[in-house]
Amino acid sequence: MFRSLRSDFSIIRERDPAARGVFEIIFCYPGFQALTIHRISHKLWKYKIPLFPRLLSQLTRFLTGVEIHPGAKIGQGVFIDHGMGVVIGETSEIGNRCLLYQGVTLGGTGKENGKRHPTLEENVVIGAGAKILGAICIGSNTRIGAGSVVVKNVDSNSTVVGIPGRVVHQSGVKINPLAHSALPDAEANVIKNLMERIDQLENQIRSIQEFEDYSMKQNIKDNKNIGTSQSLRDREIIEFIGEEEKDS
């Protein structure tokens, strides 16, 4: 128990520059409070004491906004930052040094018995509002982007973004777990590629039309449906992709 508390203090100091002391962590960090009470309720759950572990977990939910089923297995050095709205299901397993932000759900996808919640290996980071659903495994050193919904296994050293979650492998690359701005914008990249392809195709159509006979050219002049090609500088596209893509 004390070893777990030391690990919890250490990871909070390491990953949260706002943590200024032990007493501030004890009294002002709901994630730390929820994990500490969970370790007690989990012990009672293992001893098959009826009702009381669940009551303790519900009290924790009321006090901290973090709901952890007493059956969940949580390793050392786990940090739930801010914590409000976090839900961790009964058969969830969380490895050492994992980081969860507010609104994260480790949930099930049905009413089947047995293992029905996710397993997080070591050093997994899950962004705010992400949902990890089902009896899946998230490999070590993986980052789940904010708002993502993951329903399939994820290999180690990966980055996952989107709904449903898509994997971008980053094996062998050491990444700061707090560097959320480094997550790839998969949707913006796809839209950018599609617009460039439209540009290319429309330019090819115009080139072909220039070699047609005079009568066909006259018809094309009257056809208002084919104009200048799409531009990546369209305001809506630029707003979606971001200013940094504008000049690429």
What is the tens place of the pLDDT at every residue in 27-63? 888 888 999 999 999 999 999 888 999 999 999 999 9
Which tens digits make up the pLDDT trace of 158-190? 888 888 888 776 665 555 555 555 555 566 667
Please check whether residues 169 and 206 belong to one and the same domain.
Answer: no
Same domain, 103 and 37: yes
Angstrom distance (rounded) from CA 176 to CA 202: 42
Cα–Cα nearest to 33, from 79, 71, 100: 79
245: which DSSP letter? G
Q: Could you tell me if 76 and 95 are in contact, meaning their C-beta atoms sit under 8 angstroms apart?
A: no
pLDDT at 105 over 90: yes
Residue 119, pLDDT score? 93
Give residue-wise pLDDT tens across range 66-99.
Answer: 999 999 999 888 999 888 899 999 999 999 999 9
Q: How far apart are CA 230 and CA 155, in angstroms?
A: 38
- Measured in whole angstroms, the distance separating CA 18 from the mean position of its chain's CA atoms is 23
111 plus 205 within the same structural domain: no
Q: Which residue has the tokens 């195709």?
A: 201
Tell me what pLDDT residue 246 has.
46
Q: Note whether 146 and 233 are same-domain residues.
A: no
Residue ranges in the chain assigned as alpha helix (H): 2-15, 22-28, 30-46, 52-64, 186-210, 214-222, 235-241
The residue-averaged pLDDT of 221-232 equals 53
Do 45 and 83 fall into the same domain? yes
Tell the residue number behind the tokens 């449906």, with chain if given. Answer: 225
Last residue within a domain, chosen from 127, 161, 182: 182
Total domains present in the chain: 2
Lookup: tokens for 73: 């297995």
Of 114 and 209, the structure prediction assigns the larger pLDDT to 114
Show the domain range for 212.
186-245
CA dihedral over 24, 29, 35, 38, signed as positive or negative: positive
